[in-house]
Amino acid sequence: MKNLKKLFFLVLVVLTMAIGSLTAQTTGQAAGEKADKLFQAGKDAIHKKDWNAAVEQWKNFSTLFPQSQWEAEPYYWLAYSLNQAAKEIGSADKQTAMREQAMIKLEMLLKRFKDSNWASDARMLRIEVADNLVKAGKVQYKKYITHGAEAENGSDINVKLVALDALMQMNKDKALPILKKIVKENKDKNIRAKAVFVLSQHDDPSVPPLLGEIARRDQDPYVREQAVFWLGQNGAGLGILLELYSDSLDRKLREKILFAFSQNESELSFRKLLDIAKSDPDLELREKAVFWIGQSDNKQAPQALMEMYKANTDAELKRKIIFSLGQLDGDQGMAFLKEIATGNSVDRLKGEAVFWIGQKGGAANADMLKALYDGNANFTVKEKILFSLSQNDSEAALKHLLAIARAEKNPELKKKAIFWIGQSGTDEAAKFLQQLINQE
């Protein structure tokens, strides 16, 4: 009997332990599922840019699961969401309070998970938040920007550059020497290019000459090209660009300088583009200059392009000029294209002019194309005109195609007119095609 009691007791103990283990496993599984759901809900709110909802989700997550498998990531997303939500709040006091909360979470992350993959992102976000807090009068947060800018070069060089960008707005005398040192000495071309960008965002008078020096001397073409690009965005950089174009033997860099000229709206930069288009010994650079003139808003552009067209004998350059004339707004460019289409140009160039007239659309250009068709005997040019009329969505264009289809004596041209009428999909076109069928 005693043995039976012992056996019963043992069985009871085993069952109790099994049930306890199963309960713990079930509870753990439920908690894991809840954590997964809360984590995903937080990410979903971020993707939707619903920052207030994101803040609530990540606060709940941090409260319920302070030691989750995701470790640093929830802290980062809570800080990030707080900073984003602050941008959408009208109250300056509330903005500051939310950003200070974000700073607390970032400090917790960097203290507990300093070696995490999220640490670098957290440091960059901390600088952004600190910058906004300093601007709000919380000068005690300036230390994060200063320390970030003065940190030794290393794996967090990107953080350093973000800090330097912020410091340039507070104390450029302190930030500029550090930036200049990075640009001149850092061995990573991508870091040097990022430093060039940071420099370019500030209007200190020492910046354009430094960018010019980088464009001349940096060992990497990409960094040199970035310096040229940002010089083009700086009104004070034009003189340096003019010197660079004259001095440089690097053809690709000269192309970048041409683009930089095109971004500068001054009369001097436009005249330089004209000089290059007219007389540069490199034909391809001349063609690129012609292209950028066509993108210009300068009132002299149409006349300048037409004069170049008449003065040049190179067919390819003429074709580029026609393209640029087609890009210009206003009637003057169209008038020049019509002159080319009806003048003594070779048929290929006439066809190019016709094409760009057709791309402009409108009843007036449709009428111009019809007049060109009636006054031209060349088969190839007439084909181009038919195509251009088909690309013009005005009622006048369809009317002209119908008139050509009815009157054209050349069977091939007549077929092409009928084909393009069929592509219009209008009731008038369908009626005309039905009439043709009935005539058969």
User: Could you say which of 170, 194, 223 is where a domain stops?
Assistant: 170
Residue 240 belongs to a domain: yes
φ/ψ (deg, to 5) at 152: -65, 145
If asked whether residues 166 and 184 sit together in one domain, one would say: no
In terms of domains, do 197 and 226 share one? yes
Residue 391 lies inside a defined structural domain of this protein? yes
pLDDT band at 333 (very low <50, low <70, confident <90, very high): confident
Domain that holds residue 325: 314-440
- Best CA proximity match to 254, nearest among 286, 218, 290: 286
Round to whole Å and give the CA distance between 103 and 122.
10
Helix (H) or strand (E) holding 5: helix 2-47
pTM for the full predicted model: 0.62
pLDDT value for 278: 92
Confidence of residue 24 (pLDDT cuts 50, 70, 90): very low
Mean pLDDT of 357-361: 81
One domain for residues 214 and 110? no
Q: How does pLDDT run across 313-330, given as a tens digit for each residue?
A: 888 999 999 999 988 887
Q: How much of the chain exceeds pLDDT 70, in percent? A: 90
pLDDT at 9: 52
Residue 117 resides in a domain: yes
Whether residue 187 sits in one domain with residue 164? no
- CATH number reported for the structural domain that contains residue 336 in this entry: 1.25.10.10
Residue in the structure block whose two tokens are 């195609």: 401
The string over 65-97, giving b where at least 16 C-beta atoms fall within 10 Å of a residue's C-beta and e elsewhere, is beebeeebbbbbbbbbbbbbbbeeeeeeeebbe
Considering the domain architecture, whether residues 144 and 80 belong to the same structural domain is answered as yes
Is the pLDDT at 27 greater than 60? The verdict is: no
Over range 69-98, report the average pLDDT.
91
Residue 380 has pLDDT above 70, yes or no: yes
224 or 29, higher pLDDT: 224
88 & 192 share domain: no
Do 137 and 208 have their domain in common? no
How far, in Å, CA of 233 to CA of 241, rounded?
11
Q: Report the C-alpha gap between 392 and 355 in whole angstroms.
A: 11
Instruction: State the total domains in the chain.
Output: 3
Buried b / exposed e over 401-436, threshold 16 CB at 10 Å, is bbebbeebeeeebeebbbebbeebeeeebeebeeee
Residue 304 lies in a domain: no
In this structure, is residue 41 part of a structural domain? no
Is the CB of residue 361 less than 8 Å from the CB of residue 392?
yes
Per residue, the 3-state secondary structure of 304-333, as one string, reads: HHHHHHHHCCCHHHHHHHHHHHHHCCCHHH
Given 170, 185, 203, the domain boundary residue is 170
Say yes or no: 235 and 157 in one domain. Answer: no
One domain for residues 121 and 62: yes
| Mean of the per-residue pLDDT values of the chain | 84
The domain that holds 63 is classified in CATH as 1.25.40.10
- The secondary structure of 175-220, three-state, reads HHHHHHHHHHHCCCHHHHHHHHHHHHCCCCCCHHHHHHHHHHHCCC
Q: Do residues 340 and 349 make contact, with C-beta atoms less than 8 angstroms apart?
A: yes
**Residue 226: what pLDDT?**
93
CA-closest candidate to residue 58, choices 89, 80, 86 = 80
